[in-house]
Structure 1
């Protein structure tokens, strides 16, 4: 499971792929196959998470790597270059590298009361 924490020494890559709805599943298949067969075995790989938009027009990959150098090495690998060629036939991609600066989540600890979340648009 991916752990997101400010104190975790990882670089996060968020890659937004824009795709026509009829190609969304094909894109996901390409990305997941490459991740499970090749990318996960590369030095510095920590995790990958794929999200598909409900309208079918995008896929987001939230990936974690040990270092920027590991990411750059992965991007130059021949198998990854081949993947990018296939992806570019059906989608555009916009990868960016990030570091985590803040996280927040609601917990319900044993013996505590959960407060209802405010409705969107309410004060």
Structure 2
């Protein structure tokens, strides 16, 4: 999928998921494996899922799933999908986690970015 460079910057619609996994010592790769398999399943089967990025901390203590959903109802629907739950619950073997849902408030860009202001509010996007 080829997306414009500013796709992630200016998509003000939807609900943003930030899921932080606090991994047990030496379990960062295992947590990433669980999330990769779970997110791939979601991407292939669940309506309303838009994209996800997985991050690993440089200190080995956390993993983040940063994802965009069409709306909160679509996101919540995953918790009634048994295949999703079976995959996601694999995180229990790697640590603890918490997630929160967000809406876009502001976007900050460097002053030299072509054709942009340095700050944009969600209302102005």
After the TM superposition, which residues 24-103 of structure 1 pair with which residues of structure 2 at under 5 Å, given as runs? 24-36=28-40, 38-41=41-44, 42-103=46-107
- In the aligned structure 2, how far is the partner of 1:25 from the partner of 1:18? 12
- In the aligned structure 1, how far is the partner of 2:9 from the partner of 2:79? 23
CA contact (8 A) 1:11 1:67 kept: yes
Give the 3-state SS of the residue equivalent to 1:100 in structure 2: coil
**What stretches of structure 2 of length at least 5 have no aligned partner?**
116-125
| Offset at residue 29 of structure 1 (A) | 1.1
CA contact (8 A) 1:21 1:55 kept: no
* Residue matched to 1:109: 114
* Residue matched to 2:9: 4
CA contact (8 A) 2:34 2:88 kept: no
More strand per residue = 2
| Offset at residue 35 of structure 1 (A) | 1.5
- In the aligned structure 2, how far is the partner of 1:51 from the partner of 1:77? 25
**TM-score, normalized by length of structure 1?**
0.79
**TM-score, normalized by length of structure 2?**
0.78
**What stretches of structure 1 of length at least 5 have no aligned partner?**
111-123
* Residue matched to 2:19: 15
CA contact (8 A) 2:35 2:88 kept: no
| Offset at residue 86 of structure 1 (A) | 1.1
Task: Work out which of the two has the higher radius of gyration on C-alpha atoms and give 1 or 2.
Answer: 1
Q: CA RMSD in A?
A: 1.8
